[in-house]
Structure 1
């Protein structure tokens, strides 16, 4: 899997390949309601306390060290499954109106290049795993971690009151160990990948909020407990999409003071900086247009668009076809005594616009 990649970058990029490319065909048309097959389903003839997670870990595309960590941590395989769901759905949602719409086609080739899209994939992947790990701890799905520390409450009390904080501290620590981020590589691409992965982790941290709950008689708030809670992952997705739109192209320079190779942005005016900000997504080369089929995407032909907002960009000047579709919807709904709603079925004619091939 790491053929042709810098050795120091392999655990990082392999992680993204793991949660994006494995069983890729199963994700076409993903809606969030169907079961994922990134991991096999429940093992039918095994008791609940069996070591089924060991089999799940073995069937995943991970490095040897990552598989070892997965085997040690019951619940991690299911957490990886959840991170797949988060990252794929969020990527597709954020790029639903873009020429590159987070399609599975061409992702293997895309991850080998230093495009803005590669930066987003790495960031949203690490963000999804960080978010899923923190949530798995607070929901009791991980054996080696529990709630984030809530001042004045023991864990048992936290569960009782429903104030179990999302354990981002454990999540961040474990994630760095899982990805193998120990030292800065001299390889430019490895530095860029590590930087973008950290942008994803920081984006999750920025959504950590304090939530409080009253425990007094009749909600008097005589006793108030506060804990840390992550914002919905879609908030993180919006932030990372903004980082993508503002991404900075970088190159490498040698720090005259230390002799180390560092990332530098076009704003640089001296031998020591400025470096790209820790919150900025960075890329190495300009992206293709994604208008025509290529090894990076299937192109935009046949994509549905909005006549007033997106057809001009999505169709790349080729124009669009217009068709009339009949859709059914519930209408003239009335509430009947008691607690029953009756609706009629109506037909509505809609204009649908799709990009032309030529």
Structure 2
């Protein structure tokens, strides 16, 4: 299915950056066995200025209009790179035990199809961009925005607004301007992509919370310092993965009252999908064998009791022994020093057979 996507092209280009950066996954070390720890990116508190900032904008895969916006917003180029890093790491983490593990290296064909996986990529990219811009504002990495200063809390006279809140209001406003989303296309694929992009933005908004700290005599909380703070991006990624698991296949219908085309889910008696549903148009491939959509699951590590059966697609798995070093027999020495020995442990490793 061919599609003209003028209003979502920039997000597809941002995801293309993920393709170029996907080889860096080995450096980040996401094996699926450790808890998610987002590594700090190469970002400083001071936004790049002058020629350095302009050069970064020119090096990014953006439209001509987006490059103009980038040049006017010192710090935006770094923020865009941060959003790519966030979306790439989160995608790989959420799909670490799935047949498709977010590997896009050399397989951009997947982005041309309206699979559930494409829906997740668009949503996680827009969510990461929304999150990164809001955080960049509150940390001072972007010059044209600052902390959120509109708490909107009742009994405001009893509260003292303090610290630097994440500026989600500016983030969403700027994002609409950056994406150039003015009018929804009649093209079905464009509608689906726009819907999934908005799902990512909405789920970030859901994670905005008010955090407060008490001040006063004997902890009386006569005065509270409060600020708005986004939840960790990993929380948004987990919500998006849940939406992916429950994604709705849609088709296009004509609204009898307005004459406009709308998305409808056949499994919901023709009703429109919810605003937080990820939607898709065509069933995904199995991802078991190498194809233009994925490298397959051959040689992938798996857990014998939980993931090998599904991940290996019925081909079975190989078992090997591996020696690993770990700290053991640790003792606390007076007062604050811990001494440990190094133990070597033999463990079984399982990998999917290629044939």
Task: Report the TM-score when normalising by structure 1.
Answer: 0.88
Distance in 2 (alpha carbons) for counterparts of 1:357 and 1:17: 29
Superposed CA deviations along residues 259-292 of structure 1, whole A, max 9, x for unmatched, are 22211111454xxx52111100000000000000
Whether the aligned pair in 2 keeps the contact of 1:19 and 1:125 (CA below 8 Å) is no
Q: Give the corresponding residue for 2:82.
A: 82
Whether the aligned pair in 2 keeps the contact of 1:255 and 1:262 (CA below 8 Å) is yes
Whether the aligned pair in 2 keeps the contact of 1:123 and 1:240 (CA below 8 Å) is yes
Q: 2:288 aligns with which of 288, 291, 294?
A: 291
Q: Give the corresponding residue for 1:246.
A: 246
Q: 2:331 aligns with which of 330, 334, 351?
A: 334
Distance in 2 (alpha carbons) for counterparts of 1:238 and 1:224: 31
| Structure 2: 5+ residue stretches without partners | 30-37
Within a 5 Å distance, the mapping from 1:1-358 to structure 2 comes to 5-31=3-29, 32-33=38-39, 49-151=49-151, 161=162, 163-217=163-217, 219-267=219-267, 269=269, 274-358=271-355
Whether the aligned pair in 2 keeps the contact of 1:319 and 1:355 (CA below 8 Å) is yes
Superposed CA deviations along residues 333-352 of structure 1, whole A, max 9, x for unmatched, are 11222422211000111111
Distance in 2 (alpha carbons) for counterparts of 1:48 and 1:239: 33
Distance in 2 (alpha carbons) for counterparts of 1:132 and 1:217: 38
Residues 252 and 16 of structure 1, relative CA distance in 2, 3 Å threshold: farther
The alignment partner of 1:193 has SS state of helix
Q: How many residues align?
A: 338
Residues 303 and 148 of structure 1, relative CA distance in 2, 3 Å threshold: same
The alignment partner of 2:354 has SS state of coil
Residues 180 and 55 of structure 1, relative CA distance in 2, 3 Å threshold: same
Distance in 2 (alpha carbons) for counterparts of 1:291 and 1:63: 36
The alignment partner of 1:229 has SS state of strand
What CA RMSD, in Å, does the superposition of the two structures yield over aligned residues?
2.3
The alignment partner of 1:68 has SS state of helix
Question: How far 1:82 sits from its partner (Å)?
Answer: 1.2
Task: Report the TM-score when normalising by structure 2.
Answer: 0.89
| Structure 1: 5+ residue stretches without partners | none
Question: How far 1:14 sits from its partner (Å)?
Answer: 3.1
Whether the aligned pair in 2 keeps the contact of 1:292 and 1:301 (CA below 8 Å) is yes
